[in-house]
Structure 1
């Protein structure tokens, strides 16, 4: 099966106020069967700020773009578990970037991908 949650990274498309779309490759991790992403640059990332303003958002996997929603996570225990998932998935290959992704600023941007059920089965 080829799902969003099986991927090392996904392309997140976010619509600008003027209707233009921009793409950003992000790492995706899974905790308790749900997918999570973070902004590596915290609040400084324009895509993250647009998502918080309810911009249309899509994910692209295997050449397929589908609408999703991102929901901010404010539960500290869940944020810690997501940090653990980043270490488990990426830590051996990318310890420096993972340290950054688990830093205070980036961890504060943890978001759950919702409506992922709609994108669960994608072509290889």
Structure 2
């Protein structure tokens, strides 16, 4: 079978679409169905429905949420930090785990911050800010 190689210009999904899939991988002939989903967010109904439709084991392979520890210290620290910032001076950018980000993209996002700052917020060219990668 062809190997999957990641290229920064393509998503994993696009790579899979280009893969020559033999007919034995169709839902009727496979032993297991893996689909992109997150039961913690969407619930288990889709998994149950696919299981009923195809009479096959079904595995959701989407995002994995961290366990809820009940400890909101990080969140409260973040909220205190946000409360100290000037109104309209914070830009939040979230990039999903299914869209790999290169260091060049991070630099490009960082360099565009000066164009996104409101006139009343920071002076243009100010290099103040927080970048957090998880």
TM (norm. structure 1) is 0.25
More strand by share: 1
Q: Which one scores higher on RCO, CA 8 angstroms, separation ≥ 6?
A: 1
Please say which structure displays the higher CA radius of gyration: 2
TM-score computed with the length of structure 2 as normaliser: 0.24
